[in-house]
Structure 1
Amino acid sequence: MSVEWQPVRQARTHELVLQSIEERVFTGDLKAGDRLPPERELAPVMGVSRSALREALRVLETIGVLVAQQGRGPDAGARIVRNPDDALGRLLRLHFALGSYSLEDVLEARVTLERSSFQASAGNASPEELAEAEDVLSRMRAPGIGVDEYNELDTRFHVLFARASGNRLTSTLTSAVRESVRPLILRALESTEDWPATADALTAEHADLLRLVRSGDGAAAADLVERHIRGFHGTLVDEKPEQRADEDPETGDA
């Protein structure tokens, strides 16, 4: 019986650099706060060109595990960091825009995440976190507040309680999922016929959420945040991204 041989995949040089750095992170040789050697030293040690090294470092910077400092001195060079929130949000927003996920998928993910985070926050939120939420709420009540500022505060309010749940991954995922639909939410807010009335109604729901968390009623807070998400934000389903190119136009199947 003959054996069918398959071509061996040839990795590009920057992928090998990424693999080497990842292995050092997994083994604990590289930790958050550690600095990588300068490019002129690291490239020859790894046996790669500086352009291949730079490409690998740019990938790591994009996914939020590396920050590059320009210049000379002790603060120059690339440093390992833990900053997944912004990176994951950008990635998810692009995939949503490309049609990798439907708006219904995103909204259901928000409901699942935020029900959990608000329920947990009722028992875990610290006095400092509750005070911060109160401050955000007072800024949302400011007369004449614009749509952009309100949306930023709205996002901060929800992410704050995700963080207060005590689960950092829930906080990161909540921030990323909310970020993925930020352009749609902004357009929906801007298109409301009576923005001041809409802002008042949304702010009242946020105030009720804070009250329920402060009183320790996690179940009621979970139910309210689901109604909140399925209410105004649920109207976004009318603005679906275009169908994926690899889907059948009749069935939607890939």
Structure 2
Amino acid sequence: MTAEWRPVRQSRTHELVLERIEERVLAGELKAGDRLPPERELAPVLGVSRSALREALRVLETIGVLVAQPGRGPDAGARIVRNPDDALGRLLRLHFALGSYRLHDVLEARVVLERSSFEAAAEHASAQDLDEAEALLDRMREPGVGAADFNDLDTRFHVAIARSSGNQLTSTLTSAVRESVRPLILRALETAEDWPATAAALNAEHTELLRLVRAGKGAEAADLAEVHIRGFHGRLVDENAPTEQEQEREREQEEEGRAGADR
């Protein structure tokens, strides 16, 4: 197997290692479940140092396409996997925190994705899928549930509906977008003036959403999903809207960034 690997150029070594591995994935020569050769074998045939190889493997772990198991034995080493949900959620959360995306942009993305999810779930979701969503709602309705647990269950409910839609990409994107604003939504829940009333109102909408999906009323479920998201999430957008001075500063920074890129 190692004889099939070709050496890489030495400039930007770890990036070139990534390119080589990506080539093999795109060519179908590496698939989920396949193991990479041990570092001591792979580094020489690629013509790179083991430290450069490890750097490339760490990047692949971060983006959710590889898991490395240290030690010896049949389970040791690096293995190709498919785990995009956590990786995309982490990536979007960091970029949102850095200001790469506005809260309004995240809101609109959620609306588009979840309208699609709820409408498709009304047509494709199995009884087992919907029973699992119902179980999450039962836990959200429990007396005394705190904001942190509620936020976790809320996220899982929306992701469960997306998964039941039959579109894995929509499910992954829904999970990533919802995860990106999880800390902000949690802070809003924790600072709600009347937490029991807030939880009850959100649960009432969740309950109706699930009822519509069970009844196969996809268009109505999609409309209510948008109202639901624009309600609570929309208030976050209004509360966190930048001032005119902040908007002007953002425009100046964008112009400086474009000017730097042109140079």
Matched position secondary structure for 2:252: coil
4+ residue runs of structure 1 moved beyond 4 angstroms? 240-246, 249-254
The answer on 1:248 being equivalent to 2:252 is yes
* Equivalence map 1:1-254=2 (5 Å): 11-237=11-237, 238-240=239-241, 247-248=251-252
Matched position secondary structure for 1:144: coil
How many residue pairs get matched? 245
What is the identity, as a one-letter code, of the residue corresponding to 1:215? A
Q: Hey, what's the Cα distance between the residues in 2 that align with 1:141 and 1:134? A: 11
What is the identity, as a one-letter code, of the residue corresponding to 2:64? G
CA distance change for structure 1 residues 244 and 165 in 2, over 3 Å: closer, same or farther?
farther
1:127 Cα deviation after fit: 0.8
Q: Hey, what's the Cα distance between the residues in 1 that align with 2:254 and 2:24? A: 48
Does the 8 Å contact 1:184/1:239 carry over to 2? Answer: no
1:250 Cα deviation after fit: 11
Matched position secondary structure for 1:31: coil
Matched position secondary structure for 2:192: coil
1:92 Cα deviation after fit: 0.6
Q: Deviations over 1:21-52 (max 9, x none)?
A: 00010111100000111111111111100000
What is the identity, as a one-letter code, of the residue corresponding to 2:77? G
What is the identity, as a one-letter code, of the residue corresponding to 2:251? E
Q: Deviations over 1:38-93 (max 9, x none)?
A: 11111111110000000000000000000010110000000000000000011111
Does the 8 Å contact 1:38/1:77 carry over to 2? Answer: yes
Q: Hey, what's the Cα distance between the residues in 2 that align with 1:169 and 1:218? A: 19
Does the 8 Å contact 1:98/1:244 carry over to 2? Answer: no
Q: Deviations over 1:89-125 (max 9, x none)?
A: 1111111111111111000000000001100100100
Does the 8 Å contact 1:63/1:88 carry over to 2? Answer: yes
Matched position secondary structure for 1:198: helix
What is the identity, as a one-letter code, of the residue corresponding to 1:128? Q
Q: Hey, what's the Cα distance between the residues in 2 that align with 1:252 and 1:202? A: 42
Determine which structure has the larger helix proportion and give its number: 2
Q: Hey, what's the Cα distance between the residues in 2 that align with 1:86 and 1:245? A: 32
Matched position secondary structure for 1:204: helix
| CA RMSD after TM alignment | 2.1
Does the 8 Å contact 1:111/1:229 carry over to 2? Answer: yes
1:180 Cα deviation after fit: 0.8
Map of 1:7 onto structure 2:
none
Segments of structure 1 that go 5 or more residues without pairing to the other structure are 1-9
1:201 Cα deviation after fit: 0.7
1:126 Cα deviation after fit: 0.3
